[in-house]
Amino acid sequence: MGPLTLAGIERAARAELPPEIWDFIEGGSGAERTMAANPEMFGRYALRPRTLVDVSVCSLAQTLLGSLLELPVGIAPMAYHRLVDPEGETATARAAGRAGALLVAGIFASRTLEEIAAAATGPLWLQLYWLRRRDALAALIERAEAAGFGALMLTVDAPRIGHRLRDLRNGFAVPPQIRAVNLDPALMAASHRADAGSSGIADHAREQFDPTLTWDDLAWIRERSRLPLVLKGILTAEDARLAAEHGVDAVVVSNHGGRQLDGALPGLAALPEVVEALPPDFPVLLDGGVRSGTDIAVALALGARAVLVGRPVLWGLATGGEAGAARVLTLLRDELEHTMALLGRPRLAELNRTALAPWPVS
């Protein structure tokens, strides 16, 4: 029998991976306060179960931006899955398809967009950073549309890379055999070299990320694609309203897994104000700190349409490839269904704020 919780898979992955790879995946920025606060925030809520409800069937399916999700979960965009498994993103895509979950492929994926799309049987989106090289972005958008990707997700909280001390201490650089294969190698050169006290990831971002991005630049993407546009990295009501005003189709409440601004709001703390600032039918997703099916239920009760899960999927890949990643998603599915049944709320629409109370209850 394998691990029964994501915490068990995490321990197995840490034992499996080289320390510098583990630190790159697991580390946050600064003192890692925000990274630690993301999962801890879920513990501030208690559940209010209802009784004498028919829970013989719990429905976890819903539609998101025109695609059917069998599970209200997506795999968050993360770079270089081949750091932890030889098959990389194609294994992740097959695992997501088996679970009926969304996969958001990262701009720095280590398998081609076409390979990922061929392996995927479920909803598939592409994540982008705002690069100085607009021609590279335009080419990615064109390829994503041709390959059948269903939406574009622009990460907006990274005008520069956070101060990630673990990578600096390790002098971390992406190993030469692992590449962001969807981009010109010349764009990625800095990510493969680092001296002690530096980070190839941070050096690459300084060279290639464009910090001049503003709301007006979203029109550039709209001119090049009819795909839905999702913004990842929204933490305030002000930015949520601006996203709606600029025609964005969905937002992800996210602090980048605690890897950008240390001290930023935990995602779950920011979720209510973002939801309240938007129309009732505007899709809001939550990213950061989800470690159980009960966490998913809490996020949905606070107004999220779905959640994104990042590090745990890489733990699964590291310990069992496609089967390991699928195991992570299966655990989340089973825990969410179990929570919904015991809450007496067998449909996702019934997960609302009446399902929650502050913890501890006074």
Q: Are 93 and 124 in contact (CB under 8 A)?
A: yes
Residue identified by tokens 């100085």 is: 132
Active site (annotated) includes residue 256: yes
Q: What distances in angstroms separate CA 344 from CA 25, 258, 262, 357, one per listed residue?
A: 37, 33, 38, 15
Q: Which two tokens stand for residue 31?
A: 């003192």
Q: What distances in angstroms separate CA 126 from CA 95, 140, 302, one per listed residue?
A: 17, 9, 26
Q: Which is catalytic among the residues 81, 192, 204, 256?
A: 256
Q: Are 218 and 229 in contact (CB under 8 A)?
A: yes
Give the E-state strand segments of 168-297 in sequence order. Answer: 229-234, 250-253, 284-287
What is the rounded CA–CA span in Å between residue 61 and residue 63? 7
H helix runs in 164-266, sequence order:
165-170, 185-188, 200-208, 218-224, 237-245
Which active-site residues does the annotation give?
A: 256
